Amino acid sequence: MKSKYLSVALAMVALFLVSNPAFAADGFETGAGIGLGAGIGMGLAALGCGMGQGRAAASALEGIARNPQAAGKIQTPMLIGLVFMETLVLFTFGFGFLMLGNLG
Amino acid sequence: MYNYSWFWLIPGVEHGEFLEAIHEHLPAWAVVHAETASAHAVPAAWAVVLICCLFAFVARAGLNSARAKGGIEQYVPAAGFSPRNMMEILLGAIWNFAAETLNSRDVATRYFPVFAAVFIYVLISNLMGLVPGFLPPTGSVSTNFAVALVVFLVFNWAGFKEAGFGYVKHMAGPVWWLAFFIFPVELFSMLIRPLTLAVRLYINMFADHLLLGVSTEMIAYVLPAAFVGLGSFVSFVQAFVFMLLTVVYVTLSVGDGDHH
């Protein structure tokens, strides 16, 4: 994905990260980083969980389509897989919620 | 105002004073942490256990009266909607599921009381949170961790009973010279299981209750109605998932019958 916008995007990200001390000079509260982190973390967790659970459900549905009689036997391992991915997202949500007490 | 529980009407529950009164009578090593913020969960859990016992007694009385009549009545399901019927359907479904996952009807029968008790307790606890004014006893990590500890003891007991010392050897991995690396990983993953069970249930119930509270603030009686539907679905799914993981952990400990 070599586009001319990639370098511009990277420069913007670097500027954002490097300029933190400049913000701190005029009273930028470091607690705000926690809010940003919790929000972005939750979004990333939801993204990963959605992709993973989509794949699990897709292969389970394909298996059921090939062999409708085995639907009950396929459903149980599918639920087990979905639960483990969902747990990770819930941990992120809980962690973010815990951290929101430390804003500001 | 989603944080209200009818159990706060009992004196000493709202700020956890009754927990501290109990802790004064315990030796120092038995008190880990007085989590007074969710002290409402303890009488709520007792109420759930009372409801489960009442339901069980009524169902059993139905079965006994059918057996006393003799003949065909005792083998045939009861006509209509009765507690005996509900209990039979529910327990039959749980037993079938356990027997299929464990691949062995004897092990399923031996540990069946734990699976059914876990499912019914978690289900009724979750559903209690949907009734206006109640906080679910599963909305507190402490009560969930108590149930998860029981599950932990059960699947360890199952492992030691069925496989003996082979249970510990199974955790050491396939080859002996990898055991140094594999054994801590397996031990850690085994120890983290009750924690994940408890936290998963707690966060699901806490998030649902928060959703109910926020939607009540937005549009008072209309919006929570949709979320009560979602909440009951999540309650069923989480109760099923708790029981499913119990059965799966017992399956993994017992070893699927391939270690003979």
Which pLDDT score is estimated for A21?
55
Which pLDDT score is estimated for A28?
60
Which pLDDT score is estimated for A43?
96
Q: Do the chains contact at A83 and B245, CB–CB below 8 Å?
A: yes
- B197-224 burial code (b ≥16 CB/10 A, e <16): bbbbbbbbbbbbbebbeebbeeeeeeeb
Locate B23 and state its tokens: 């802790």
Amino acid B91 reads L
**pTM of the full structure:** 0.84
CA B156 – CA B169 distance, rounded (Å): 13
ipTM of the complex: 0.75
Locate B35 and state its tokens: 């989590």
| Segment-wise mean pLDDT, segments of 10 residues, chain B, 260 residues | 80 80 80 73 92 94 86 78 89 93 88 95 94 89 92 92 79 76 88 93 91 86 88 93 93 69
Q: Do the chains contact at A87 and B196, CB–CB below 8 Å?
A: yes
Which pLDDT score is estimated for A56?
96
| Residue in B253, B164, B233, B153 with CA at minimum distance from that of residue B197 | B153
Which pLDDT score is estimated for B260?
42
Locate B187 and state its tokens: 């031990």
Nearest-CA distance B71 → chain A (Å): 35
| Residue in B14, B11, B22 with CA at minimum distance from that of residue B41 | B14
Query: Is the CB of A98 inside 8 Å of chain B's CB atoms?
Result: no
> What is the distance, to the nearest Å, from the Cα of residue A87 to the centroid of all Cα atoms in its chain?
12
Q: Which residues of chain A have pLDDT under 70?
A: 1-2, 16-30, 102-104
What does the H/E/C string look like for B205-251? Answer: HHHHHHHHHHHHHHCCCCHHHHHHHHHHHHHHHHHHHHHHHHHHHHH
Q: Do the chains contact at B200 and A79, CB–CB below 8 Å?
A: no
* Sign of the torsion formed by the C-alpha atoms of B251, B203, A44 and A59: positive
